Amino acid sequence: MLRDITIGRYVERSSVLHSLDARSKIIGALLCSVLTLSCGSLLSMAAIAALTAAAAIVSRIPFNYILKGIKPIRWFVLFTAAVSIISADGEPIWQYGALRISAEGISAAALTSARLLLFVTSASLLTLTTPPVVLTDGFARLMRPLRRLRVPTDDIAMIISITLRSIPAFADEAERIMKAQRARGADLSRGGLITRARAVIPVAIPLFISVFRRADELSLAMDSRCYGKGTRTPRKKTHFGRNDLYCLIIMILFCGFLAIIEFYN
Amino acid sequence: MIEIRDLSRTYGSGSNKAHVLHGIDMNIERGAFTAVLGKNGCGKSTLVRHINAILKPQRGSVRVDGMDTKDPRRLYDIREKAGIVFQDPDSQSVAATVEDDTAFAPENLGLSEDEISERVEAALRAAGIAELRKKSISELSGGQKQLTAVAGIIAMRPDYMIFDESTSMLDPLARSRVLECVMRLKRELDVSVIWITHYMDEAAAADRVVIINDGKIAADGTPEEVFSDIELIERCGLELPPCAQLCVMLKNAGYDVPRLALNAHDCALLISGMTAAAVKEREGAS
């Protein structure tokens, strides 16, 4: 299941979304995330979902592959939806003891679920369509003004890029460790909350050790390949072109459209 | 030339203090293939990490083509001259595709875009993975990942290439492919190779074998010289290359084995020579 994580993976395709400047895509993904977290109506969520679906179609990455990225968070989404339903106020449409479901609760659950799903999908689309080196360059160029304040923007961009790229690698590692523990009789999926929490420890400790070991080895490999010598010259530079301009215009118009929806809701 | 003088290193302090290297003195000539052997924890990796200036000598000195590894002004010149390929093929890649990962070092060197593209192209061809350039690293086999790491180092145009147990996590076929690639690079690009390994057959292919035991140099010579001292090999927790083991077994079984063969080709020649001599002797007797 963890192998299904799509955030951090890159899929080579010849598409308009792939050819956009990394800065446009980063701004687009950030705007999308801010909009999903700040908008409060289901109509706005439907509009963001439509825009995300359009971006997914343009990316030419199979829809099933993108949806696979949602699979690992499905229980989390269901849990937050359940909490939203139970904790919402409003006229109950169904009641069993203290448990009651209202129309407001269903609406809140749909909103929370949509937020989570759209947040993950937009972040996935960014990494699926942008190679890590280009993403690093994009972050570095967006943060360039901060250099005047002596902020190590190149290093921060590299950290963000490596972090994103490491998510699927660590998910694979966690999957391997879980399989190894299961092979030795560990039961990770049964019992109550405390039993399950305890069962996580034999997975979490080797995972942390592996993460630190890998981070140490990667830093050595980067050092030995002269990382930190001076200003890097990225080989792949994307240029802000006409499509990027259209993309930004679409995003600005979309923000205006959502503002109108939110105003009338 | 790499000059190592009185190199010592300790880890920890107080009762936990461990002496990893004790006064190591050695030179590594340009163009040589040097295999470094020793049991786990004997100080092999610590030794070679001093060459690349990842570690600075606590005592003694390491000079790479005259540049002192303690001199911070020469740090990147030294790293450019002496590249390391590490053990784990999954922990060395920075980029997503083979081509991008190979370009990482030239990008760090601040070269022009044309120069980077030229170096990447040449490095991919030299490592024999030009056809994989667009492939995602996550789709590669362990051997292909290690060859990508090799290409990443070649792109720096180093004079010395250090392999820190780079074949230990590979299957036999991938292991021999990486070794073949390194032998070809040594021949074609005239780079010096420092090869840390636990595989004795790999060490037998080197020009020179150095054994490290308890932080000291226990043996230093040609493979023939070093592997002929079987007692020393056993004392250092090592074993002979498989072909040499066969020769020893034959000798113990009463056969007249004139010398140790270190590789399959040499072993075949030796056994066919022994067989021919035995046939001749039998024919003479009859």
Same domain assignment for residues B99 and B41: yes
Long-range contacts of B129-136 (CB under 8 A, 24+ apart): B129/B98, B132/B98, B133/B97, B133/B98, B133/B99, B133/B102, B134/A12, B134/B97, B134/B98, B134/B99, B135/B97, B135/B98, B136/A10, B136/A12, B136/B96, B136/B97
| Residue A2, pLDDT score | 57
Residue A238: per-residue pLDDT: 67
Domain finish residue from B211, B233, B255: B233
- B168 with B257, same domain: the answer is no
Helices (H) and strands (E) counted in chain B, each on its own, are 11, 10
Looking at the structure, tell me whether residues B52 and B125 fall in a common domain: yes
State how far residue B58 is from chain A, nearest Cα, in angstroms: 19
What count of CB pairs under 8 Å joins A to B? Answer: 103
Contacts 24+ apart (CB under 8 A), A157-163: A158/A227, A160/A135, A160/A136, A161/A132, A161/A133, A161/A135, A161/A136, A162/A132, A162/A218, A162/B94
How many whole angstroms from its chain centre is CA A82?
22
Contact between residue B157 and residue B79 where contact means Cβ atoms under 8 Å apart = no
In a domain, A137, yes or no: no
- Tell me the average pLDDT of chain A: 85
Which pLDDT does position A25 carry in this prediction?
A: 92
pLDDT grade, residue A265 (50/70/90)?
confident
Residue-number span of the structural domain to which B282 is assigned: 241-286
What is the mean predicted confidence (pLDDT) over B179-207? 89
Residues B249 and B220 in one domain: no
Probe site for chain B from A133, A210, A235 (most B CB atoms < 10 A): A235
Helix-, strand-, coil-residue percentages of chain B, each rounded to 5: 45, 20, 30
Residues A168 and A222 in one domain: yes
Count of domains forming chain B: 2
How far apart (Å, rounded) are the C-alpha atoms in residues A24 and B82?
Answer: 39
Residue A138 in any domain: the answer is no
A30, A118: one domain:
yes
pLDDT at A39 over 80: yes
Q: Check CB contact of A166 with chain B, cutoff 8 Å.
A: no
Question: Quick one: CA torsion of B57, B62, B67, B70, rounded to 10 degrees?
Answer: 10
| Domain identity same for A91 and A211 | no
Q: Are residues A5 and A121 in the same domain?
A: yes
Q: What is the pLDDT of residues B96-112, one digit of tens each?
A: 789 989 999 999 998 98
B144 and B19 part of one domain: yes
Which residues span the domain enclosing A163?
153-235
- Taking only the tens place, the pLDDT of each residue in B103-160 is 999 999 989 889 999 999 999 988 888 999 988 888 888 889 999 999 999 999 999 9
The structure tokens listed for B160 are 């010395």
For this complex, say whether ipTM is above 0.90: no
- Domain end: B210, B233, B256, which one? B233
pLDDT greater than 70 at residue A188:
no
Give the tokens for residue B75: 């740090």
The three-class DSSP label of residue B210 is strand
**Same structural domain, B255 and B151:** no
Query: What DSSP designation does B258 have?
Result: -
Residue B92: per-residue pLDDT: 86
pLDDT per residue as tens digits for the range A115-158: 999 988 888 899 889 887 788 888 888 888 898 888 888 888 88
Is A145 inside a domain boundary?
no
Instruction: For B166-192, write each residue's pLDDT tens digit.
Output: 888 888 888 888 888 888 888 888 889
Same domain? A218 vs A245: no
Check pLDDT > 90 for residue B27: yes
Residue A173, in any domain of the structure: yes
Q: A129: nearest CA in chain B?
A: B96
The pLDDT-based confidence of B222 (bands split at 50, 70, 90) is very high
Identify whether residues B136 and B256 lie together within a single domain.
no
Whether B63 and B91 share a structural domain: yes
Let me know whether A248 and A227 are in one domain.
no
Query: Do A84 and A202 belong together in one domain?
Result: no
Burial environment of residue B21 by CB neighbours within 10 A (0 to 12, 13 to 18, 19 or more): buried
Residue A146 is assigned to a structural domain of this protein: no
A217 touches chain B (CB under 8 A): yes
- What tokens were used for B126? 């030299």
Q: Tokens 């010598």 identify what position?
A: A229
| CATH number of domain containing B59 | 3.40.50.300
Instruction: Identify all chain A residues contacting B83, using CB atoms and an 8 Å cutoff.
Output: 224-225
**pLDDT band at residue A189 under the 50/70/90 scheme:** low
Q: Are residues B140 and B193 in the same domain?
A: yes
Residues B10 and B66 in one domain: yes
Q: Which residue has the higher pLDDT, A87 or B7?
A: B7
Task: Please tell me the predicted confidence (pLDDT) of residue B61.
Answer: 93
Strand segments (E) across B12-95:
18-28, 33-37, 59-64, 67-68, 82-85
CA closest to B158 among chain A residues: A225
Q: Do B97 and A162 touch (CB under 8 A)?
A: no
Are residues B192 and B105 part of one domain? yes
- Looking at the fold, whether B228 and B274 belong to one and the same domain comes out as no
**Residue B91 with chain A: CB contacts under 8 Å:** 213-214, 217-218, 221
Structural domains in chain A (count)? 2
User: Which residue in A133, A225, A238 has the most chain B C-beta atoms within 10 A of its own C-beta, making it the best mutation to test that interface?
Assistant: A225
